[in-house]
Structure 1
């Protein structure tokens, strides 16, 4: 079969004499990766990290890394005849991801826990476990492509744009990429599900996991208020001049660019959240034009592989289209004003289909200020 894991070996037995560790979340994607690894002829070991156990979350369709998902991963491993181990990382996940998620909202920022999870608990810990097991590579079910370039492995967007997860992997280091494999990056989701059905995997029709796996019902504000009771303290909704327009029951319910939920009537034009002030507990609103920014300052910038050879584009939200940009030190400059850019989000850089890297948005430069300067 095609050497999806780039392991080499005798023709017809790409994985012969090799060992592959597969990160198994209990979903269809990682299960198909495990099946493909087993077909390669390599010895395959499935690893599942138990990340949380929050009651209803363990039973919710579309969750991952808890309860039923662990049982599903074990069942798939049994079906494939591969070894499977579960490691309890609940405390580390809570400390590094869930608590950080709550703290970011309390600071008026818009967190992306999936990136923090990949940066820490998943990749760092899975790497250590895989290497301790003597694996030749660590394979995951992410929809991205690992492409060999002139200067080594490169990270590229997935073939299926609707499934591309490159935004969440911008912090992958070059050393990590050398060890990682993403066999689904060249496949469409429909083909993956069809393959799971052909292999009679029990998870073939299982719903996809949610963006924030540890929020049982999608109500992140309630979770933050449970973890940080002070998040329920209300405050004022004000315009940019400071005039009070309404009240809120906690800044955690608001993110930059948000329009719904303000419950402010009688205005000449729609209002959006322009700024969240944790110190004063004020939510500042304004017209859409007030959201326009010309640049963003990045922190923890990570670059993957060789420098870009052409024009750069960037995504400042996971579902946004890449837009033309330039980099000036730690500042990202947009060729045209961008809207709804929030501190706490990630800005991910691309050169064509290749992921160059990215960083965390610390602050933005309002377009009006840039024009005045």
Structure 2
């Protein structure tokens, strides 16, 4: 069962003095094990907990498929878990908002030759904006989620909070939360930041929750079979115009059936013969061309970023501030610096990185490893 030390940790995470029963906490419940355990911990800690599930999309495949998120079976799982925990639960229909802010943006990004991250867009526009406002409307003191990151008060009396990587780096989700603004971060709480995934599942099993062994949700919830191109073509039938595959000098090596089938760094499935391995180096949507070259052509040192969310203590200037940068969710952060250039913020990677894709995130940290402060980040722009 849940020990007192864990209860104390949850109360410390909420960080609001007074009787927990008088403190209302909204918990975002996706129907998965992480958000369900978060709600359970808050309930066990004595808070006035309200569960909210967002219905973001729906189609037959997602309803039946295990590991979906915010649709079909998951909504039923969230409702059932809330009933077991004895907390009120509401389902909010955000389908039209999700399509406009996330799915349509995803499609447009691919058509412009980028590799988008819809989870970041969803967190930034739906979960931590629209849901957060609904939580305030319910007079909740905070909004809690099941993400594996830590949030700590600064201790200077300002009420400001900082985000840190979690104890379990294998579950670190800070890459997908880089766009969380300071005001949002001050209102959010992440009770699972000090736990591992096995520990969360063990808690669910101890409490008899049916989601204890439920598979994790997929990265892109609204593409149930992983075939992104099919979704894009369904929404934009004109999105697969053929074009040329060219080398770095512009020589035509072959043809393709649409730039939506390619991402930076891709090696397989190019459909062209070459004595040396070739990789997608650049995508030119205006010319409908896919540029290929050797692996070394993928190396990049300076990265321009758009939409920078900077959570650092000092404003950016012409002199680089030291940071650790992460350009893919599965890659570790590497040392570098960030500065404000005439064209906008520029991140310099010491030693360079390979396969830097426009549309992906460049997330910034104060250090590497567990407990590293998140300094924000931005979306990678074209070189």
Calculate the TM-score normalised by the size of structure 1: 0.94
User: Is 1:252 the equivalent of 2:260?
Assistant: yes
> What is the aligned counterpart of 1:276 among 283, 295, 312?
283
User: Is 1:171 the equivalent of 2:179?
Assistant: yes
> What is the aligned counterpart of 1:96 among 93, 101, 107?
101
Large movers: runs of 4+ above 3 Å: 7-10
Tell me if structure 2 keeps the 8 A contact 1:301–1:358.
Answer: yes
Q: What secondary structure is seen at the aligned counterpart in 1 of 2:49?
A: strand
Q: What secondary structure is seen at the aligned counterpart in 1 of 2:79?
A: helix
> What is the aligned counterpart of 1:33 among 26, 35, 38?
38
Q: 1:9 Cα deviation (Å)? A: 4.1
Gap runs ≥5 in structure 2: 1-6, 316-320
Q: Structure 1: how far apart are the matches of 2:364 and 2:226?
A: 29
Q: What is the count of residue pairs matched by the alignment?
A: 360
Residues 123-161 of structure 1: per-residue CA shift (max 9 Å, x gap):
101111110001111000000000222453110001111
Tell me if structure 2 keeps the 8 A contact 1:153–1:305.
Answer: no
User: Is 1:351 the equivalent of 2:373?
Assistant: no
Q: What secondary structure is seen at the aligned counterpart in 2 of 1:231?
A: coil
Q: 1:74 Cα deviation (Å)? A: 0.1
Tell me if structure 2 keeps the 8 A contact 1:349–1:357.
Answer: yes
Residue in 1 that maps onto 2:381: 362
Residue in 2 that maps onto 1:47: 52
User: Is 1:2 the equivalent of 2:17?
Assistant: no
Residue in 2 that maps onto 1:192: 200
Residues 41-82 of structure 1: per-residue CA shift (max 9 Å, x gap):
111100011000122122211110001000000000000000
> Aligned pair in 2 of structure 1 residues 305, 291: CA closer, same or farther (>3 Å)?
closer
User: Is 1:290 the equivalent of 2:297?
Assistant: yes
Gap runs ≥5 in structure 1: 365-373
Residues 194-245 of structure 1: per-residue CA shift (max 9 Å, x gap):
1000011111111000100000101111111111111222211111112221
Q: Structure 2: how far apart are the matches of 1:90 and 1:195?
A: 32
Residue in 1 that maps onto 2:351: 336
What is the RMSD of the two structures over their aligned residues, measured on CA atoms?
1.5
User: Is 1:319 the equivalent of 2:330?
Assistant: yes
Q: Structure 2: how far apart are the matches of 1:201 and 1:307?
A: 45
Tell me if structure 2 keeps the 8 A contact 1:52–1:66.
Answer: yes
Tell me if structure 2 keeps the 8 A contact 1:307–1:356.
Answer: no
Residues 84-109 of structure 1: per-residue CA shift (max 9 Å, x gap):
00010000000010000000000001
Tell me if structure 1 keeps the 8 A contact 2:322–2:338.
Answer: no
Residue in 1 that maps onto 2:3: none
> What is the aligned counterpart of 2:65 among 45, 60, 78?
60
